[in-house]
Structure 1
């Protein structure tokens, strides 16, 4: 018997029926609550009244159930850390690029001190919330770890991932609660002249714009790019098929300025005139389009004199008073520089003088428009990735490298500035950065962050040995780098350091000593977990001290001890045991700005005191700390 032939064996659910009736009559009164879809009764009262109904105070802002929790989530500190994975890295000690595996919310928190105000550009391609996407579920205060695993709300990496179905009562709210704290933390990382680009489609563009207006400020909205995907999404006649997606652009402040794009040969065809100075085009000196009347800019209405002495005013073809494109002083300068050209143009059976400004090809610049339909779309992007993997398809819907390269090109990036992508997927942003560096020799640095989402056991990627998306992304960057290096021979940074999000390197007693009895503390004479390495400790120290993880790391032996040197003498770290006065005297000669040891690493308590005093005497600028 089919399911629709089975008896319901239950009385009618009048509440649900009434809800559906109200929803069909007043769809604007349907909202989302903590318990799912609900009716906004204040709004319903207003719909049923001819007078203003007093209710909650009206305000212009986006609200959703869970917004306060999202704000709290962004502000909660974390004790997690990033552990280096040297075996997956390329040129670990020297590269300035980072690839970080883990929940991007926790990673963004960890980067707050080291990268505060240091990121020039952010690009992200988050889940579009189409009904089948996974979203991060960040607040599980009511659930136990066991319940999360049993219900599938955590994967094998203990990441908080859930499917967000369109039928869910908090479909938009859960997506907003995921995006809000991440964007809030991301804004902190942007430089004062930084900019963020966010790809999105029709499903959430309206909500995304509202939270970005709130986080970045409505005055810092810098436009919306419409990108042709080259792929028709959707079929049938229920909805209009979509062949575009969007990129919302917000800056940290008004300091950000877009940079112009290089002009193509097709762009240059309009420079169709030539003189001894080179190719040029002409444009009317009279203002056309908007704000082209005398009253708009009275100072730009004045007479000029044609070659035969005729006095010419900026008059529209219809006869009303218009204006020039510049003031009289600027006109006189253009005239003296040979940038003005007069032409006799036939009109009503006789010729009249028309005045033009010359624009030479040497001055030619082109700024990006909001319509990007001249870049190949997602099909080409898929082919690009497939080709790197010997024709195999391991990743769906990557963004085109050309598209991301154009975003890099308009972002006014300068040498050594940082580009961050914390939904990095297949690594398209890193690919684009390496490609642009090889072309322009700028050495822009990238930080990629990606959750290690498991690949489906039925997928070709899984069969080829790629157990999660991060493995695909890292291999894509390696292969793209090799290809670009072979083709361009450019001397740039092709490496990347891999870090993996994990629990703190320190025992719980390190953070909560008050919860342990005095006799129990002896069990934790070493604060460090037994499975952690010196590399692990160095990363956590760098983050805690606010040092970028991309700084050059050297390793050397001093008095038989293994020492890390970070960025020359910015930081020395030694996590060996047996630290004594002899070691302190030797290392003080290098005058490091900072030095860190394990608390349990000193030869004895006397040595700990003496080392501290010796460093004060021999290297007074050195700041010593222990973990």
Structure 2
């Protein structure tokens, strides 16, 4: 029981004047048996441990997360505020109940909702069920839940042909070196920036940053092929092509260009193609110029380097 200020209190003081305080009963979530029926029907929300029951069903009867939100509760809320093709954002993802809910809703009504979930990689405490099950962070729990929930939804809805996949990204610094010249030694600074990309980053790291900088949806289809021994990526059915190999020799130019051109003709992209290469991959300007010229002769005019 708590006392709080209130302008609408029914209480009066000893002088018969309306008071400024009211008495409230504070009910903790763990002690509640369900939501008040005056706000959200209990038949829809269920009881407070429904979310834990769902977690146990997915994780071999192990409660790897405390008090997760039930999917029927989230489904009720989402049905009031989203359409079938909306993107649902959750910036406190936790066990990823929201992702589970979105996938389940899509399977039920053939919707095309998508989700973006954000979660800090908070470590699980030693001795907890999650820690004993090998989950080092909350993110690990959430991503595994999405995998298992997707598998369960597929098994329970064999006729559903929607996408139950997802991608996981970890925030990091840019893959592209920032220009930070040393005024006392500009020559060395120039040598240090011959390679524009940060060492140790993978081609996929650079590729996804490229998508972000180009404003391309991260869920856009990406295909890859090996051409002249190099990995070549097609994004959005050829609207964007990237070859981020660390080296391209002069003798490989014709084979690489020919393979890219053939693939480009197969794809028949709906818009002009932009193609990107790693600038430091070219041993000299002649190699770079020859590759660009061959591509331009075949209609690929937007050739860039990183």
Query: Which residue does 1:198 correspond to in 2?
Result: none
2:236 to 567, 583, 599: 567
1:460 to 103, 115, 129: 129
* CA-CA distance at 1:239 after TM superposition: 6.0
2:227 to 548, 558, 564: 558
Query: Which residue does 1:241 correspond to in 2?
Result: 26
Q: SS of the counterpart of 2:134?
A: coil
Cα deviation digits, residues 500-554 of structure 1 (max 9, x gap): 11122233xx432466612342244222222111111101100111101111110
- Is contact 1:438–1:484 with CA below 8 Å preserved after alignment? yes
Alignment of 1:205-604 (within 5 A): 240-242=25-27, 371-374=39-42, 375-415=45-85, 417-489=86-158, 490-507=160-177, 510-513=178-181, 517-576=186-245, 577-578=247-248, 581-582=253-254, 583-584=256-257, 586-588=259-261, 590=264, 593-604=273-284
Number of aligned residues:
263
Stretches of structure 1 that go unaligned for 5 or more consecutive residues are: 1-26, 28-237, 245-368
- Is contact 2:275–2:302 with CA below 8 Å preserved after alignment? yes
Q: SS of the counterpart of 2:168?
A: strand
Structure 1 position 608 matched with structure 2 position 288: yes
Cα deviation digits, residues 264-308 of structure 1 (max 9, x gap): xxxxxxxxxxxxxxxxxxxxxxxxxxxxxxxxxxxxxxxxxxxxx
TM-score scaled by length of structure 1:
0.39
Query: Which residue does 1:353 correspond to in 2?
Result: none
* CA-CA distance at 1:420 after TM superposition: 1.9
Whichever structure has more helix as a proportion of its residues is 2
* CA-CA distance at 1:453 after TM superposition: 0.5
Residues 1:370 and 1:521: Cα distance change in structure 2 (over 3 Å) = farther
Stretches of structure 2 that go unaligned for 5 or more consecutive residues are: 6-22, 30-36, 266-271
Query: Which residue does 1:220 correspond to in 2?
Result: none
TM-score scaled by length of structure 2:
0.77
Cα deviation digits, residues 442-474 of structure 1 (max 9, x gap): 132222211110111131111211110000001
Q: SS of the counterpart of 2:83?
A: coil
Q: SS of the counterpart of 1:555?
A: strand
* CA-CA distance at 1:401 after TM superposition: 0.2
- Is contact 1:585–1:618 with CA below 8 Å preserved after alignment? no
Alignment of 1:27-176 (within 5 A): none
**Inter-partner Cα distance in structure 2 for 1:414 and 1:570:** 27
**Inter-partner Cα distance in structure 2 for 1:414 and 1:392:** 33
* CA-CA distance at 1:588 after TM superposition: 4.1
**Inter-partner Cα distance in structure 1 for 2:105 and 2:47:** 19
* CA-CA distance at 1:624 after TM superposition: 2.4
Residues 1:579 and 1:565: Cα distance change in structure 2 (over 3 Å) = farther
Cα deviation digits, residues 215-234 of structure 1 (max 9, x gap): xxxxxxxxxxxxxxxxxxxx
* CA-CA distance at 1:586 after TM superposition: 4.6
**Inter-partner Cα distance in structure 2 for 1:239 and 1:407:** 27
**Inter-partner Cα distance in structure 1 for 2:91 and 2:131:** 23
- Name the Cα RMSD after superposition: 2.5
Residues 1:381 and 1:586: Cα distance change in structure 2 (over 3 Å) = closer
- Which of the two has higher C-alpha Rg? 1
- Is contact 2:176–2:197 with CA below 8 Å preserved after alignment? yes
Q: SS of the counterpart of 1:372?
A: coil
Residues 1:579 and 1:625: Cα distance change in structure 2 (over 3 Å) = farther
Query: Which residue does 2:304 correspond to in 1?
Result: 625
